[in-house]
Amino acid sequence: MNNSEINASKEPGSILEVGEYKGLLSWLSSVDHKQIGIMYFTTSLIFFLAGASLAMVMRTQLIKPNHHWLSPETYNQIFTMHGTTMIFLAIMPMLTAFMVYFTPLMIGARDVSFPRMNALSYWLYLMGGLLIYFSFFTGDTLHMGWSAYPPLTSVNYSMDLYFVGTGVDYWIVGLLLTGAGTIMTAINILVTVADLRVPDMKLARLPLFVWMSSINAILMLLALPALNAALVMLFLDRHLNALFFNPAAGGNPLLWEHSFWFFGHPEVYILILPGFGIVSEVIPVFSRKVIFGYSFMAVATVAIGFLSFGVWAHHMLATGMSFSIYYVFAFSTALIAVPTGIKVFNWIATMWGGSISFDTAMLFCVAFILQFTIGGLSGVAFATVPIDWDLTQSYFVVAHFHYTLLGGTLFTVMAGFYYWYPKITGRMLSEKLGKIQFWLMVIGFNGAFFILHFAGLAGMTRRVYTYPDLPHLATINLISSLFAYVLGLGILIFFANLVISLFKGKPAGDNPWGGWTLEWATSSPPPPHNFDRIPPVRSIRPLWDLERSQMAPGAAAPPSRGGESS
């Protein structure tokens, strides 16, 4: 667009030059969704770095059998922190960052509906995260796994070592804080999408990222209260002897498992839906084709959201519940593969017949499709109940969920960064570093995790600081650890790229990828008020329509009715 050249002279080319964003105070006191988004990005990236470093320590401990470098106490804390960090403090807020930053831009709004609440969400998240990490300094941190099953976490047995110490309290309160923040974000996104779309953006013209973020917000809104309730019960058990989970006094530890997974399963969709959204934006742009099956994509998202509340007990298939319960959950779990399959095939169909350019963002999407398919297929295997009996809680599960969370979500997040970093900062990420990072991550990830399926088959259980020298385990783990370092190197290069490109990156211009959604219609970085003018929205690709209208963009883009909606 010619706009960019006109704008280039008068608008800052980099986020570092935006006058309104100068000075610490402008950040601390900000209610601008873009600044808050950037703070979410930064914080979650730092937590991600922590989580990934812990993972490298774990893989080093597991590099050979009967390894006594770390004590079980240390290792148990590390895997608990790794899981908690990755789920609650890294990946989920990173996706929130995309939602908070891009939802208003993609619907042509000036900000979210409740900017102050948006800021509060962020600060609650940060404080909650710090509180959880503070438990490291209490000398008695978490060793329980991210799912924190009582009675291990609830009952004070006769000897201290039975019992998970004060760290759990920090964990509970920290999660309650971040959880409250998440619920607020969910409300914020929903109201924003309902209320602040430019008037001619009907629901059927909503970008898929916004569709998926909205469904995601509904999941957050409905799932997190279950976790919060469970956390409160656990807290009461620990401090007021409420006995919810103590079987000796008529409580039931399965109550925790039900409440936790009633949250936990929607949570894993919360951890993937915005990623699906990112992929659904990136693939069309880099294939120069409209998304295939838009309405099926949207409906499939709704279906996933709906079904995800009916599958939680598949995390409990080995708890010895009655078979009739298993049947229901096994079927609903397998069923969720159908809408997921719809998405995969629609992405491929979007690429089909396209003119695909393999920039780093697109590469990550392609790898994502393949890796996520593997994770999805092993998930379907788990829905076949007896196979779950065989393999649950083994390293097969560790492989499965890293294929969905790392090979899945993290790869979509990477695509999102390469795609939108130019919009956020005004600078391109280095494609050269990007391609190196991509290949290191693909090789490292698959090398480290595919083979872990076999560790599970060979009899290795999860959450152990070391394992006996059973046949094959030494080789499998050595290979896995070495590839994990390759993956780690890829991640480091990503961070280097983020920092270097901020200062040295090529100026991005308004629309470096030829994107079609509204965020590309404003400058990079967008001005604090987001849009000077908004092109009319006649389809899901307003900028595409604009391009086709053969007129000078300036003339073709009268502010759409109501322009800035707030």
Q: Report if residue 506 touches ligand HEM, rule: CB under 6 A.
A: no
Instruction: Residue 335: name its binding partner from ligand HEM, other proteins, none (Cβ under 5 to 8 Å by kind).
Output: other proteins
Q: Which two tokens stand for residue 196?
A: 């602040």
As measured in angstroms, the least distance from the Cβ of 452 to other proteins is 14
Q: Report if residue 80 touches ligand HEM, rule: CB under 6 A.
A: yes
Q: Which stretch binds other proteins (CB under 8 A): 113-121, 311-319, 443-451, 524-532?
A: 311-319
Per-residue contact string for residues 347-386; x = within reach of other proteins by CB under 8 A: -xx-xxxxxxxx-------x--xx--xx--xx-xx-xxxx
Nearer to ligand HEM, 81 or 233 (CB): 81
Per-residue contact string for residues 75-94; x = within reach of other proteins by CB under 8 A: -x------------------
Residue from 58, 279, 313, 383 binding ligand HEM (CB under 6 A): 58
Q: How many residues bind ligand HEM (CB under 6 A)?
A: 23
As measured in angstroms, the least distance from the Cβ of 148 to other proteins is 10
Total Cβ atoms within 10 A of residue 401: 18
Q: Report if residue 253 touches other proteins, rule: CB under 8 A.
A: yes
Which residues, listed in sequence order, are joined to residue 250 by a DSSP beta bridge?
none
Task: State the Rg of the chain over Cα.
Answer: 24
Per DSSP (E only), the strands in 20-152 are none
Q: Report if residue 57 touches other proteins, rule: CB under 8 A.
A: no
Q: Report if residue 86 touches ligand HEM, rule: CB under 6 A.
A: yes
Is the Cβ–Cβ distance between 300 and 335 less than 8 Å? no
Nearer to other proteins, 16 or 370 (CB): 370
Q: For residues 535 and 201, what is the distance between their CA atoms, to the nearest angstrom? A: 11
Residue from 435, 463, 506, 538 binding other proteins (CB under 8 A): 463
Q: Report if residue 455 touches ligand HEM, rule: CB under 6 A.
A: no
Give the long-range contacts of residues 405-408, CB within 8 A, separation 24 or more.
Answer: 405/86, 405/91, 405/268, 405/271, 405/272, 406/445, 406/449, 407/367, 407/368, 407/371, 407/372, 407/374, 407/375, 407/445, 407/446, 407/449, 408/272, 408/275, 408/368, 408/371, 408/372, 408/375
Q: Is the dihedral of CA 88, 89, 90, 92 positive or negative?
A: positive
Per DSSP (E only), the strands in 392-525 are none
Q: Which two tokens stand for residue 433?
A: 């570093």
Residue from 8, 117, 290, 302 binding other proteins (CB under 8 A): 290
Q: Report if residue 139 touches other proteins, rule: CB under 8 A.
A: no
As measured in angstroms, the least distance from the Cβ of 466 to other proteins is 6
Per-residue contact string for residues 233-252; x = within reach of other proteins by CB under 8 A: --------------xx--xx
Q: Which stretch binds ligand HEM (CB under 6 A): 78-86, 294-302, 331-339, 515-523?
A: 78-86
Q: What is the DSSP string of 116-165?
A: HHHHHHHHHHHHHHHHHHHGGGGT----STTTT-TTTTT---SSGGGS--
Q: For residues 92 and 129, what is the distance between their CA atoms, to the nearest angstrom? A: 12
As measured in angstroms, the least distance from the Cβ of 148 to ligand HEM is 9
Instruction: Residue 176: name its binding partner from ligand HEM, other proteins, none (Cβ under 5 to 8 Å by kind).
Output: none
As measured in angstroms, the least distance from the Cβ of 511 to other proteins is 17
Residue from 320, 499, 504, 550 binding other proteins (CB under 8 A): 320
> How many residues are listed for the chain in this entry?
566
Q: Which stretch binds other proteins (CB under 8 A): 134-142, 461-469, 514-522, 529-537?
A: 461-469
Instruction: Residue 296: name its binding partner from other proteins, ligand HEM, none (Cβ under 5 to 8 Å by kind).
Output: other proteins
As measured in angstroms, the least distance from the Cβ of 212 to other proteins is 18
Q: Report if residue 183 touches other proteins, rule: CB under 8 A.
A: no
Amino acid at 322: S
Residue 111: strand, helix, or coil: coil
CA terminus-to-terminus distance, the chain: 26
Is the Cβ–Cβ distance between 309 and 222 less than 8 Å? yes
Count Cβ neighbours within 10 Å for each residue of 521-550 and write b for 16 or more, e otherwise.
bbbbbbebebbbebbbbeebbbbbbbeeee
Instruction: Residue 387: name its binding partner from ligand HEM, other proteins, none (Cβ under 5 to 8 Å by kind).
Output: other proteins
Q: Report if residue 164 touches ligand HEM, rule: CB under 6 A.
A: no
Q: Report if residue 442 touches ligand HEM, rule: CB under 6 A.
A: no
Nearer to other proteins, 134 or 358 (CB): 358
Q: Report if residue 145 touches other proteins, rule: CB under 8 A.
A: yes
Nearer to ligand HEM, 82 or 423 (CB): 82
Q: Report if residue 391 touches ligand HEM, rule: CB under 6 A.
A: no
Residue 507: strand, helix, or coil: strand
Residue from 13, 83, 277, 535 binding ligand HEM (CB under 6 A): 83
Count Cβ neighbours within 10 Å for each residue of 472-490 and write b for 16 or more, e otherwise.
ebeebbebbbebbbbbbeb
Find the binding residues for other proteins in span 430-459 (CB under 8 A): 456-459
Residue 31: strand, helix, or coil: coil
Q: Which two tokens stand for residue 557?
A: 């883009």
Write phi, then psi, for 427 (nearest 5 degrees).
-125, 145
Q: For residues 129 and 552, what is the distance between their CA atoms, to the nearest angstrom? A: 49
Q: Which two tokens stand for residue 336?
A: 């969720």
Cβ-Cβ contacts under 8 Å for 274 (sequence gap 6 or more): 95, 98, 99, 209, 212, 213, 216, 412
Q: Report if residue 64 touches ligand HEM, rule: CB under 6 A.
A: no
| Residues 545, 547, 550, 553, Cα dihedral to 10° | 110
Instruction: Residue 406: name its binding partner from ligand HEM, other proteins, none (Cβ under 5 to 8 Å by kind).
Output: ligand HEM
The residue with tokens 């963002």 is 361
Q: How many residues bind other proteins (CB under 8 A)?
A: 95
Find the binding residues for ligand HEM in span 88-107 (CB under 6 A): 91
Question: By the criterion CB under 6 A, which residues form the site for ligand HEM?
Answer: 52, 55, 58-59, 79-80, 82-83, 86-87, 91, 145-146, 398, 402, 405-406, 410, 448, 462-463, 484, 487
